A and B are shown apart, each in its own frame.
Chain A
């Protein structure tokens, strides 16, 4: 149980940090747009450092770099947080024990091997880029493609860790000592718990909204 929590903790920690990449992504887009418009009016800007050394192509490549890192590093985080979509038509009608079996099976038979494939071959892929010292094929873009290519296996290592954590948790739920079962069951019995947490959050927000400052929704005033 401790191990499962530790693994989940690592994955969550990485995911929560990577999530912030959305902010530089947003800013880079806006900077690129602004510079591009400015240069229309002040063509001499092309001689500045910003244009000579950074340039639109580099910024635009940086956009997909950031985006790729963002979603790769969060794949595992999303699994831990149970954010991946499920079709629960059947699931909600079956007992938690069977759910735990399905989850254990899926994590071990589907997720871990897929991670293995992507990590092994993805590593070769990044290694080739490193050996070639691959740069952007646009030539005016970014150098060192191995970094971004290397993020692919890294992301899937994290997803694999997340899957192990989930598998372990469900294993304990199925076979572990009774005192740990309840805790381990949070994942299969998640739907109720997540709902509760969600509701609590909403209530808190509502409270803040109404008491923290003046009510903002006039339509509900009466």
Chain B
């Protein structure tokens, strides 16, 4: 049976990786299935706005969604741990935990409870920490800083005395330019370059401690997913597996040229000082404790991930050149 579905995206199709991966999935699904799986990529807002994808797919009114589990922090506190984890693992270790360390089972079980079946369908390279108007040299420099940030990273930032801002999408750019805010988090160098943040802020900080790798997922309404044939489900799994490969390779490939171009545009690229990173990590530990106390699933997933990382550590240290 032919599938004609909509895939509501949370990112615009032209956005490097975040959107283009989604567009590629649409194309690949059509080709791999010989035209039997048509899942049409929809721009954010075309059917429902970005943050409503979860509800829309859960109810079945939209069949599929392209997003990251990190978006659903307000609804299901444990899901962000499958999207990006502050001070979390690199892509290789993250995937090891997800596919073999018990991550996938918990992920599917949690989503299933809300009528959604989701397939991890993309992994990308680390993000940057964001754009700052002034250099941040000391931990104290973060106090009173007005920065646009959200999610788990924002909770960490608040513990550091940062005044986190929400701001309307359209206001970020002028606000940063005119000093209404001091900094904003965005994405990785290749994306930030396209979006032109260098036009208004000149200090770029790396590494992105809040997002060492990011997983994206293709969400399906559970009942509709169950109604697919085994072949179709296998085709989707295969395309997603390939998309993970494509995403990580492309992400690693794109950044160095982007960094060079940013420097050419007059951006100063900074690395966080070890003291600041330590302070941030300490704050993150506090956030984890709070979230774990609030939500059983969060505690369970965190436990699984940190046990895995504990075990992995020895291999990570011995197997790789430091």
Contacts and interface: CB of A to CB of B under 8 A. Distances in A.
A141 B161 contact: no
B163 A39 contact: yes
B165 interface: yes
B158 A137 contact: no
B55 A125 contact: yes
Contacts of A43: 140, 143-144, 161
B73 interface: yes
A139 B154 contact: yes
B150 interface: yes
Contacts of B158: 55, 140
Contacts of A132: 75-76
A40 B179 CA distance: 11
Contacts of A42: 144
Interface in A113-133: 124-125, 128-129, 132
Interface in B92-147: 140, 143-144, 146
User: Chain B: interface residue count, which band?
Assistant: 20 to 34
B321 interface: no
B73 A139 contact: yes
A137 B72 contact: yes
Contact of B164 (A44, A129, A134, A140): A140
A137 B166 contact: no
Contacts of A134: 74-75
Contacts of A186: none
A145 B74 contact: yes
A46 B74 contact: no
Interface stretch (A20-28, A56-64, A190-198, A209-217): A56-64
Interface string B154-189: 110010011111110000000000001000000000
B51 interface: yes
Nearest to A137: B74
A60 B151 contact: no
B293 to A, nearest CB: 15
- Name the residue among A55, A124, A137 with the largest chain B CB count within 10 angstroms: A137
B165 A47 contact: no
A129 B158 CA distance: 25
B71 A137 contact: yes
A39 B144 contact: yes
Contacts of A40: 144, 146
Interface string A135-171: 1111111000100000000000000000000000000
Contacts of B165: 36, 56-57, 60
Nearest to B181: A36
A116 B105 CA distance: 40
A45 interface: yes
A137 B83 CA distance: 14
B85 interface: no
A55 B164 contact: yes
B116 to A, nearest CB: 12
A110 interface: no
Contacts of B155: 139-140
B152 interface: yes
Interface in A57-89: 57, 60-61
B164 A57 contact: yes
A47 B84 CA distance: 29
B31 to A, nearest CB: 34
B151 A137 contact: yes
A51 interface: yes
B115 to A, nearest CB: 10
A61 B146 CA distance: 16
Contacts of A46: 143-144, 161-163
B1 to A, nearest CB: 28
Interface in B23-62: 51, 55, 58-59
Interface of B: 51, 55, 58-59, 71-76, 140, 143-144, 146, 150-152, 154-155, 158, 161-167, 180
Interface of A: 36, 39-40, 42-47, 51, 55-57, 60-61, 124-125, 128-129, 132, 134-141, 145
19 contacts: A39-B144, A39-B146, A40-B144, A46-B144, A46-B163, A47-B161, A51-B163, A55-B163, A55-B164, A56-B166, A57-B154, A60-B167, A128-B55, A137-B74, A137-B151, A138-B164, A138-B166, A140-B150, A140-B155
Query: 4 tightest A-B contacts by CB?
Result: A43-B144, A137-B74, A138-B150, A46-B161
Given A42-B144, A46-B163, A124-B59, 10 more contacts: A39-B146, A43-B140, A60-B167, A128-B58, A137-B71, A137-B74, A138-B150, A139-B154, A141-B74, A141-B150
